[in-house]
Amino acid sequence: MAAVIWAAFHWAPLAAGFKGESSRILFFHVPMAWVSFVAFMTAGVQSARYLFGSRTPQDAQLDRSAAAAVEIGLVFATLATVTGAIWARIMWGSYWNWDPRQSGIVVVLLYYAAYEALRQAIADEEVRARLSAAYGVLGLVVSPFLYFVLPRLGFSLHPEPVINAQGKMEVEARMLTVLLASSSGFTVLFYWMHSLRCRLGAIAARRLEEEN
Amino acid sequence: MGGPVWVTAVNLVIWTGLVLWLLRLDRRIRELEREP
């Protein structure tokens, strides 16, 4: 991580067409957005495994795993939104422009905030797990649409994504190296945080069981 | 080339701090898991 940070600020060249040093935020903004997508997909897959599985008591772990992925995904999606807004202020003159990609991330945040609200609203553990799993599975369709389809439907101020509409990567080699290293680092960080959150959830569940 | 040193320093502090905190949390969770 330290090497990636150093490379992002001192080794990677500045991108053409970006004001000042603003392109360096790309090495954090893109991986954060990527990790939030990975998190929501993880939540969707774990939800599907819960919903279509045998639903034994052990499957409660799948429910906790989906919930943990959404929690961490929301943190990374918020960070991606904030870093994107900072970059937008430098490049476009204002923090918020209702660009399709900005609108898309707002809907993503609202969608998964509603997931959290749903979980908080239901006291019965099994009903909560079943309903939030159904909602999480729907996210497998909603998230790819909001991340990859919606921003391409109309005019967008947002720069070409790393893999452009022609399916090519037109990024300078050193920038791409740092970007891939950063994305990998953030992905590992996500799965580490996710595993810690799941283990904490399992301990809390065990304690609750012992109390009852 | 060469971004501002202070931004690099702030980022290093934030991310190193997070990793150290996660390592500490990992150790604490392991202790809790071992508890009967």
CB interface of A with B, residues 6-45, below 8 Å: 6, 8-11, 13-14, 21, 24, 28
Residue-wise pLDDT tens digits, A82-103: 999 998 898 888 898 888 888 8
Please say whether the dihedral angle defined by the alpha carbons of residues A61, B31, A207 and A122, taken in this order, is positive or negative.
negative
Measured between alpha carbons, how far is A14 from A96 in angstroms, rounded to an integer?
A: 24
Measured between alpha carbons, how far is A197 from A195 in angstroms, rounded to an integer?
A: 5
Domain ranges of chain A: 23-153+171-211
Yes or no, beta carbons of B11 and A9 under 8 Å apart: yes
Residue-wise pLDDT tens digits, A102-160: 889 999 999 999 999 999 999 998 899 999 999 999 999 999 999 888 877 776 667 66
Tokens 């609108």 belong to: A103
Yes or no, beta carbons of A1 and B2 under 8 Å apart: no
CB interface of A with B, residues 119-148, below 8 Å: none
Nearest to A2 among B3, B16, B26 (CB): B16
**ipTM of the prediction:** 0.88
Kindly tell me if the per-residue pLDDT of B15 is higher than 70: yes
Most confident of A6-20, A46-60, A180-194: A180-194
* Coil, strand or helix at A169: strand
pLDDT value of residue A156: 66
Q: What percentage of residues in chain A have a pLDDT greater than 70?
A: 92
Within an 8 Å CB–CB cutoff, is residue A110 touching chain B? no
Least confident of A32-36, A121-125, A163-167: A163-167
Say if residues A175 and A13 touch (Cβ distance below 8 Å). yes
pLDDT value of residue B1: 47
> How far B3 CA sits from the closest chain A CA (Å)?
5
> How far B24 CA sits from the closest chain A CA (Å)?
11
Burial of residue B36 (number of CB atoms within 10 Å: 0-12, 13-18, 19+): exposed
